[in-house]
Structure 1
Amino acid sequence: MKWTDMEIDELERQYSPSRWSRRMSADDVIEAHVKALKEGTARARGLAQTLLNVPYGDGDGEKLDVYIPSTDSLDVHLVVYLHGGYWQFLSKEESGFMAVPLVDKGVVVVAVGYDIAPKGNMDLMVAQVRRSVVSVVQQYSHIRGLYLCGHSAGAHLAAMVLSTDWSQFSVAPQIKGAFLVSGIYDLLPILSTYVNEPLKMTEEVALRNSPSRLVPQLQLSSACCHVVVVVAENESPEFRKQSEDYYKTLEAAGLNVSMEDVANTDHFNIIEQLVDGDYHLTQLLLKMMGKS
């Protein structure tokens, strides 16, 4: 599809989440976001036992950070967190923040590292996060419930995990729940935007990595998973549409899916607040685990 310059300008505005925050300027909201994630992760590392840089593959970027609660229970709930950053920014180093309220409830949190662009391409990142989940299942045999949480680009990657053909792997993870927060599920609209410059996706790559087009596979691999599609009140219309369309597609396919439209949030503080045990999404996740 060919876009005019005016259409590309509008697409880029729609796919620039920082320009839609009502709290502060675009540059300031990103700076504040990184600061909040780093501070939350530092708190989590002070509260929990940690296993940092655990390999799940041979690549330098294929590492996990594990936040472990003080519990004698062998059967634990475990959340795998996939960070955002438009597949080209952030890392697992700022991704432990949601462990702050969860380790206190006996929940293990795993922050996944993957090779962001330009080092990593979309096919590689999807393959890496899939292998990270397989590795977690193999390393933690006493998982009572496995859950995914992803933000923005991480929500896209989490949705791709749900759409995995597990017959290619040695195990088939039984994912009980997935929180897809402010995600992108159809990659075609971003092909002509600045977002794709470091990714260098072709239309073919975008199609095979668009979760909205892989729902039949998700029906086979994650039929028992409760998928929660989450969107912030102050997202761009296009980001909201991405979430609403994906939710409707899953619902039409008969999957166990719900949608959460979180008031008084934007693309950034909707995930930052998972550091708080009283936050709506934290409570929703704990309730899904039977821990509220």
Structure 2
Amino acid sequence: MHWTQMKKDELDGQYSPSRWSRRMSADDVIEAHKKALKEGTERARGLAQTLLNVPYGEGDGEKLDVYIPRTNSLDVPLVIYLHGGYWQFLSKEESGFMAVPLVDKGVVVVAVDYDIAPKGSMDLMVSQVRRSVVSVVQQYSHISGLYLCGHSAGAHLAAMVLSTDWSQYSVTPQIKGAFLVSGIYDLLPILSTYVNEPLKMTEEVAVRNSPSKLVPQLKLSSSSCRIIVALAENDSPEFRKQSEEYYKTLEASGLNVTKEDVADTDHFNIIEQLVDGEYHLTKLLLKTMGRS
């Protein structure tokens, strides 16, 4: 059934990722998720050299954390992580976890904060993550490669970064690879769901900020980027469809894109496991960066 034919409660259910986990109840899986990300981030802060609360703009929420490997080499790849939380939860304080296996391999990890709703609007969040990438490129001009990783709402924001018209900015970031994990690429279905209550998006705002509608711009800006669209086996059918349709659209445009359907994962542990160097997506990320 197409989302336009679904009743509100049905659509709410499709866009409630916690209801689809087979590991635990909806409330428990969210609590466990926050705990796992927080613990992973604390571990990363113990392992890496860190620069915390680095401003990338004027706003209070426009800060990032940098996790630096203990290496003298200047030839280091850098991955920017954009957190999930439906544009209304989480922060960079739970977003350093993937540095645990990556700093060991000489990779810099940057976790970005943006103003979540209701303080931040969708237009503002998109503008902030774009500016954060520009700021990172300006501060770390010597890196060997720039990569993006985003989960859920963060995958949406990462896809929006790939679809940026950089002519309006002072630099044009050369993004080599992007990992889009369990993302949303068409915002129209969530307009009438509970998700939009704090966001207050209109149809115009949703269309303007839907990566699925911006593929021609992505092709202009990020044609050489290797894009991995990852989806969880136990995500909702509607979430899986979002990833599959976006992947097909990118593939049809001739872009360098692959799809990773990750077995035995749900919306939450598909990203939590990036704390583990032996996890399939961690290995793929390292391989993409030439660090396996």
Instruction: Specify the TM-score bucket, using the shorter chain as the normaliser.
Output: over 0.9
Q: Does 1:236 align with 2:236?
A: yes
Secondary structure in structure 1 of the residue aligned to 2:179: strand
Secondary structure in structure 2 of the residue aligned to 1:52: strand
What residue in structure 1 maps to residue 62 of structure 2?
A: 62
Q: Does 1:160 align with 2:170?
A: no
1:123 Cα offset (Å): 0.1
What residue in structure 2 maps to residue 72 of structure 1?
A: 72
Deviations 1:188-241 (A, max 9, x none): 000000000000000000000000000000000000000000000000000000
CA distance in structure 2 between the aligned counterparts of 1:128 and 1:28, rounded to whole angstroms: 31
Aligned residues: 290
Q: Does 1:220 align with 2:186?
A: no
What residue in structure 2 maps to residue 90 of structure 1?
A: 90
What residue in structure 2 maps to residue 265 of structure 1?
A: 265
Secondary structure in structure 2 of the residue aligned to 1:116: coil
Task: State the Cα RMSD in Å.
Answer: 1.0
**Identity percentage of aligned residues:** 86
CA distance in structure 2 between the aligned counterparts of 1:197 and 1:94, rounded to whole angstroms: 24
Secondary structure in structure 1 of the residue aligned to 2:265: strand
1:127 Cα offset (Å): 0.1
CA contact (8 A) 2:233 2:261 kept: yes
Q: Which runs of 4+ in 1 moved over 4 A?
A: none
What residue in structure 1 maps to residue 15 of structure 2?
A: 15
What residue in structure 1 maps to residue 199 of structure 2?
A: 199
Name stretches of at least 5 consecutive residues in structure 1 with no aligned partner: none
Deviations 1:124-147 (A, max 9, x none): 000000000000000001110100
1:291 Cα offset (Å): 1.0
- What are the within-5 Å matches in structure 2 for residues 164-183 of structure 1? 164-183=164-183
CA contact (8 A) 2:4 2:189 kept: no
CA distance in structure 1 between the aligned counterparts of 2:27 and 2:45, rounded to whole angstroms: 27
CA distance in structure 2 between the aligned counterparts of 1:126 and 1:260, rounded to whole angstroms: 25
Name stretches of at least 5 consecutive residues in structure 2 with no aligned partner: none
Secondary structure in structure 2 of the residue aligned to 1:255: coil
CA contact (8 A) 1:49 1:70 kept: yes
1:62 Cα offset (Å): 0.1
Secondary structure in structure 1 of the residue aligned to 2:199: coil
What residue in structure 1 maps to residue 148 of structure 2?
A: 148
Secondary structure in structure 2 of the residue aligned to 1:118: coil
CA distance in structure 2 between the aligned counterparts of 1:277 and 1:3, rounded to whole angstroms: 41
CA distance in structure 2 between the aligned counterparts of 1:67 and 1:165, rounded to whole angstroms: 28
CA distance in structure 1 between the aligned counterparts of 2:168 and 2:258, rounded to whole angstroms: 29
CA contact (8 A) 1:3 1:192 kept: no
Secondary structure in structure 2 of the residue aligned to 1:104: helix
CA distance in structure 2 between the aligned counterparts of 1:7 and 1:137, rounded to whole angstroms: 45
1:289 Cα offset (Å): 1.1
CA contact (8 A) 1:229 1:247 kept: yes
If the length of structure 1 is used for normalisation, what is the TM-score?
0.98
Deviations 1:75-131 (A, max 9, x none): 210000000000000000000000000000000000000000000000000000000
CA distance in structure 1 between the aligned counterparts of 2:207 and 2:232, rounded to whole angstroms: 26
CA distance in structure 1 between the aligned counterparts of 2:241 and 2:74, rounded to whole angstroms: 41
Secondary structure in structure 2 of the residue aligned to 1:84: coil
What residue in structure 1 maps to residue 254 of structure 2?
A: 254
Deviations 1:14-70 (A, max 9, x none): 000000000000000000000000000000000000000000000000000000000
- What are the within-5 Å matches in structure 2 for residues 41-52 of structure 1? 41-52=41-52
CA contact (8 A) 2:56 2:64 kept: yes
CA contact (8 A) 1:66 1:110 kept: yes
1:3 Cα offset (Å): 6.7
CA distance in structure 1 between the aligned counterparts of 2:216 and 2:141, rounded to whole angstroms: 29
